[in-house]
Amino acid sequence: MNLGTRYLGLSLRNPVVASAGPLSLTVDGVRALAAAGVGAVVMYSLFEEQVRRELERDIELEQAHEESFAEALSYFPAVSTPTERGVADGYVDLVRRASAAVDVPVIASINGASLGGWVEIAQQLADAGASAIELNIYFVPGDLTITGAQVEQRHLDIVAAVRRAVALPIAVKLSPFFSSPGNMALRLVEAGADGLVLFNRFLQPDVDIETLSVKPSVALSSRFEGRLPRTWIAALAGHTPASLAATSGVEESADVVRYLLAGADVVMSTSALVRHGAGYASNLIAGLQDWMTRHGYASVDEFRGLLAVPAGADATALQRAGYVAALENARRTYGALHH
């Protein structure tokens, strides 16, 4: 049985990928994921804010040295110490050590919303041995004067800048909340993205009605959340040369199969692996193999995209027809409860 797939031009032993999360915070964590059989590991994200703080620190150091004599090379200002290692430096080093420790592709992840220090860090990650870079563009425009066109352009500018800086494959983890997610996905590919990760999950705070306060919270994804990315993967499959990665809502091997049928090249999981441990990846892979055996498939390519939107079909009409059919089914199901 051939579980092999290709993602971002990389050959993977299977389509189950560990996405960015706490399990890839250490080299040992990356080793555990690789030992469980995943096809690739996406490292936990380096955040733009961390890079920006270090750039500001470097500027402060440079300014503090402006009035020092050239021969005073041993002098170092009090704002920092020569032995201080930055977060960005530590992340690059972790990527270097993780890449050397496992025999599966290690994909670096950068999370941000502006150009910031991404370009320089992207080059460092390429030099550190990362097989690819995932750009997690987490941009929630709180400024109500920012237009949709400006939001889209910022995404495109980030991708284009990183594309100019590195030759590594680039994947973009994007939001589903564009007015036309499919068109935005195609424009990101035109800007230089080699792959698309559908979708980013925006963290939404809760309200504590006793303390009258807003509570930041992080919730693991549920299986229901897989329906939205599957819809867009099915629409994009066959209509773009870019790789398609599915993320969110992967709890069981059946969810992996569903995404592959929709047309995904790889299926990423964080929540299930956090819930059950790194070793749970082997369950997802074994379940995929079992399903393929029962249905007579010898390779993933034989059934990938079987449920994608057919080439030449009116995708808008199909989406509308599915919507109407779902409402009709709901009317029959729930309407019967009142008779």
pLDDT above 60 (res 339): no
Q: What is the pLDDT of residue 71?
A: 43
Q: What is the pLDDT of residue 85?
A: 53
Q: What is the pLDDT of residue 337?
A: 55
167-197: pLDDT as tens digits:
999 999 999 999 999 999 999 999 999 999 9
Residue whose entry in the numeric block shows the structure tokens 């290692």: 85
Residue 301 has what DSSP assignment?
Answer: G
The helix (H) or strand (E) run that includes residue 302 is none
Using a pLDDT cut of 90, give the percent of the chain over it.
65
322-336: pLDDT as tens digits:
545 554 565 566 665
Q: What average pLDDT score do residues 286-292 get?
A: 98
Q: What average pLDDT score do residues 24-42 get?
A: 98
Q: How many residues does the chain have?
A: 339
Q: What is the pLDDT of residue 86?
A: 81
Q: What is the pLDDT of residue 27?
A: 98
CA distances from 104 to 100, 107, 198, 239 (A): 10, 10, 22, 28
Amino acid letter, residue 307: L
Short-list 98, 90, 110, CA closest to 45: 110
pLDDT above 50 (res 45): yes
The helix (H) or strand (E) run that includes residue 132 is strand 132-137
Q: Do the strands 213-215 and 266-269 form a parallel or antiparallel pair, or are they unpaired?
A: unpaired
Is 15 in contact with 266 (CB distance < 8 Å)?
A: yes
Q: What is the pLDDT of residue 117?
A: 65
Q: What is the pLDDT of residue 131?
A: 98
Sign of CA dihedral 206, 141, 242, 106: negative
**Could you give the CA distance from residue 131 to residue 268 in angstroms, rounded to a whole number?**
16
Q: What average pLDDT score do residues 223-251 get?
A: 93
Q: What is the pLDDT of residue 73?
A: 40
User: Is-cis flag, bond preceding 199, omega within 30?
Assistant: yes
**Could you give the CA distance from residue 248 to residue 227 in angstroms, rounded to a whole number?**
9
CA-based radius of gyration for the chain: 22
121-142: pLDDT as tens digits:
889 999 999 999 999 988 877 7
Residues 6+ apart with CB under 8 A from 328: none
* Cβ-based burial of 115 (10 A; exposed 0-12, middle 13-18, buried ≥19): middle
242-288: pLDDT as tens digits:
999 999 999 999 999 999 999 999 999 999 999 999 999 999 999 99
Please report, to the nearest 10 degrees, the dihedral formed by the alpha carbons of residues 189, 129, 91, 176 taken in order.
20
Short-list 31, 132, 59, 47, CA closest to 87: 47
Residues 6+ apart with CB under 8 A from 105: 10, 12, 39, 40, 41, 131, 132
Is 95 in contact with 108 (CB distance < 8 Å)?
A: yes
The chain-wide mean pLDDT, for the chain, equals 85
CB-based burial, 171-195: b 16+ in 10 Å, e otherwise: bbbbbbebeebeebbbbbbebbbbb
Residue 229 has what DSSP assignment?
Answer: H
**Could you give the CA distance from residue 124 to residue 82 in angstroms, rounded to a whole number?**
20
Which structure tokens are listed for 9? 């031009």
Q: What is the pLDDT of residue 70?
A: 42
pTM of the model: 0.84
